[in-house]
Amino acid sequence: MKIVQNILKPQNLFIIVCLFWGLLIAIVTPPFQAPDEPEHLFKMWGYTQGTLTYQIKDKWVGGVVPKSFIEIYDYYSQYRWTFDKTSLAKTNEFSKLELNKNDKSFLRYNAPVYTPVSYFPAFLFLWVLKLLNISPLLMTYLMRICFLLIYTALGYIALKITPCKKWMFFTLETLPLMISQGAAINTDGLFFGILFIFLAYTLRLRFDKNIEKISQKQICIWGIMTVLLSILKFAYAPLLFLYFLLPKEKTVLPENYLKNFFIILLSNFLIISFFLSGILGAEGYRYWSYINHNRSNFVVIKEVLSNPFEFLYMVVYTFKLGWIFFLANMVSNIGVLMFTIPVWATRLYWIIIFISAFYSTKEESDMSIDLKNKWIMFFVIVVLFLITFLSVYLVYQTKPIIRGMQGRYFSPLLPIFLLLFMSTKFNLKNKCCPIVIFCVTQLLLAVNIFGFIIRFY
């Protein structure tokens, strides 16, 4: 009986659910069909060769990779931008292709601007596969499994340490979007996993009754996580303002409360400045920006700052036109062309998400976030919302609609948004809620994978 009770804990159920559906998604998804998957793989390949940034040839950014990878990339690129069905026969043919790692060529592509931290420890695993001369196709699938295991481990830790809202974390961590990104070669799985741990740790420091005083060591750990999140995705640095959710009176040294915050703020600023100065100032990246958009990022940022109301109008206008798509895209996003589940399934998912947000166990029924702290959370959400639009605008530079926006870009805001509803007055305490949450999420994951199979096969 005790074994069954342990299995039914959200964190243990998550391992089973995430690995089962994640492996299915990793296997069913054709090569290089996850968003930016080949670019991330080639970026990591550069790390195995000692190349910490992208390479430049004839003023174009890219990298030197084995021709066997380029052959697979060239073939599957056609499926990234069309709704054509993939060929299993061709996939079988590519499975017999040898790596030939010394037969290389320069491939021009928009190299991701992420640092080695974003791919750790996955690029070490790629280095081992490279030494073993694993075939490029098998290497792609093994790398997906590696990223899935990393996301599963991080998601488990978050569920393990959070003192409340475990079923909300479970629901969010098992969204088709989260699992599909976690089972793909990219940086999202690592970012989302650490984000969930960061939020869970914040809740633990605030609500865990076993923590009578927040030590300097715990604040240091919290600060390191904000720095790590900033390195993984620069745009989400404002998450550090959630520091003010930590009760001042609960800290060991209340007189150092603001001092600690400014140390964390300065650390984030210096690290982001260091990485951005190298990225935005690189000749190849600058050239790519001019060729595609005629204006550098510096010019665009200066334009936004000089006319913020025009930018705000574009944000509102874009969101007004695309909010339905964004809501669907936030829960299900697999493949470059962003396959999403049916409308009825999307609506049902949002119902389950809010049920999980309002559900509270007996132990957490007295936990709440006061109005002052909710305003802090709301401030973080608004700032991140605007930075997200700005980041996409810098890439595509389209007016008055900011094209290129995807719902998955807003997903990091979702758990913070749901915590705004955390109170002692409006709680669902029905013991059937976890059963409903689990059963419906599994049904919808099945719908998701079934639809995706129809999309590609």
Cα angle 91, 93, 95; round to 5:
70
Report for 89-93, 101-105, 299-303, 445-449: range of highest mean pLDDT: 445-449
Closest CA to 42 of 114, 146, 117, 97: 114
pLDDT tens digits, one per residue of 240-273:
999 999 999 888 888 899 999 999 999 988 888 8
Residues 6+ positions from 102 with CB-CB distance below 8 Å: none
- Residue 355 has a pLDDT of 93
Report the alpha-carbon distance of residue 162 to residue 166 in Å, rounded.
Answer: 7
Asked if pLDDT for residue 289 goes beyond 60, the answer is: no
Asked if pLDDT for residue 384 goes beyond 70, the answer is: yes
- Residue 286 has a pLDDT of 47
Mean pLDDT of 204-224: 92
Mean pLDDT of 341-348: 86
Cα angle 143, 148, 149; round to 5:
100
| DSSP letter assigned to residue 62 | E
- Residue 334 has a pLDDT of 60
Report the alpha-carbon distance of residue 200 to residue 163 in Å, rounded.
Answer: 8
Instruction: Determine contact, residues 298/142, Cβ cutoff 8 Å.
Output: no
Asked if pLDDT for residue 138 goes beyond 60, the answer is: yes
Asked if pLDDT for residue 280 goes beyond 60, the answer is: no
Higher pLDDT, 144 or 51: 144
pLDDT band at 32 (very low <50, low <70, confident <90, very high): confident
pLDDT tens digits, one per residue of 357-374:
999 888 887 788 888 999
112 residue type, one letter:
P
Report the alpha-carbon distance of residue 332 to residue 337 in Å, rounded.
Answer: 12
Residues 6+ positions from 382 with CB-CB distance below 8 Å: none
Burial class (CB in 10 A: 0-12, 13-18, 19+), 440: middle
Higher pLDDT, 345 or 8: 345
Mean pLDDT of 315-326: 90
| DSSP letter assigned to residue 233 | -
Asked if pLDDT for residue 21 goes beyond 60, the answer is: yes
- Residue 336 has a pLDDT of 53
- Residue 158 has a pLDDT of 97
Among the ranges given (144-158, 269-283, 428-442), the one the predictor scored with the smallest mean pLDDT? 269-283
Mean pLDDT of 56-61: 70
Under DSSP, is residue 56 helix (H, G, I), strand (E, B) or coil? strand
Mean pLDDT of the chain: 86
Among the ranges given (47-61, 204-218, 236-250, 300-314), the one the predictor scored with the smallest mean pLDDT? 47-61
pLDDT band at 300 (very low <50, low <70, confident <90, very high): confident
Mean pLDDT of 398-416: 88
